[in-house]
Amino acid sequence: MRRSIDDHPADPADVPPGLDGELAPVSWAVAISDDYDDAEPRVVLTVEEVGRAGQGLVTHLSPTVARRLRAALRDALREIGEPVE
């Protein structure tokens, strides 16, 4: 099984002001898959620089590591004063 969950095609507006030319816009996608020898489902996170399709990084996260990433993103949002669900 493979299923796309969400993706964000990068936009030049994603690069913070003052860093134009220093940072490349990056697209991300999240999917789930269980196409492994152990058939365990994992969260698949792909990040790619715009204009370099197929040359990005893909990580296959176990549920434990995916939860850790989710918690880190929640904590980062809290640190910058954003509401956390």
pLDDT in tens, 8-51: 998 888 888 888 777 788 999 999 999 999 999 999 999 998 87
Whole-number pLDDT of residue 54: 83
The secondary structure of 5-57 as a DSSP string is EEEE---GGGSPTT-BTTB--EEEEEEEE--STT---EEEEEEEETT-TT-SE
**pLDDT at res. 20:** 72
pTM for this predicted structure: 0.85
